[in-house]
Amino acid sequence: MSSDERKIRVLIVDSHEAVRRALQIRLSVSENIDVVGVAADLALAVELKTLLIPDVIIFGLQKGTDEDFHRTLGSVRELSQGSSAVIALTPYADAFEREILLQTGVHQYLLKHINSNLLLEEIEAAAHVSAGF
């Protein structure tokens, strides 16, 4: 990376501390990415987005009730406004959930077990689309 290029600013959101830590480690191998913050829930992520101005927000989906999912959609709408691209990571594939999240503003819907190189490519692609890298 040349000195005039800036790093992609990433905010990680997941309710499990081990997942947040693992994602930080996985992303630290890229000289193009700077993890600027972590949050345990979407409500905190909405607050941090305003303060940290990330290019990409990665959030881990959790299986919950329909009410939980509707709250998630509201937070995703807030997170996807502006110049931040939102990537949802899920432990399971659900075509209905995927479609709803994409319509709500999620840039990409990926399985949590995605390999690190592909995840880095997806983050870079999202940053290029949303923040004009």
Q: What pLDDT digit, counting tens, does each position of 8-38 carry? A: 999 999 999 999 999 999 999 999 999 999 9
Determine the average pLDDT of the residues in 67-80. Answer: 88
Note the pLDDT of residue 132.
61
Domains of the chain: 8-131 (3.40.50.2300)
The pTM (predicted TM-score) of the whole model is: 0.91
Note the pLDDT of residue 3.
47
> Residue 4: which region, alpha, beta or left (left: phi > 0; alpha: psi -120 to 50)?
alpha
User: Token pair of 112, please?
Assistant: 């949590």
Cα–Cα distance, 67 to 91 (Å, whole number): 19
Helical ranges in the chain per DSSP H: 17-27, 42-52, 66-80, 95-104, 116-131
Selection from 96, 107, 37 nearest residue 69 by Cα: 96
Work out the pLDDT band at 115, boundaries 50, 70, 90: very high
User: Token pair of 107, please?
Assistant: 């840039």
Cα–Cα distance, 22 to 79 (Å, whole number): 22
Separation in Å, CA 87 to CA 5, 35, 45, 120? 23, 14, 13, 11
Residue 18 has a CB neighbour count (10 Å cut-off) of 8
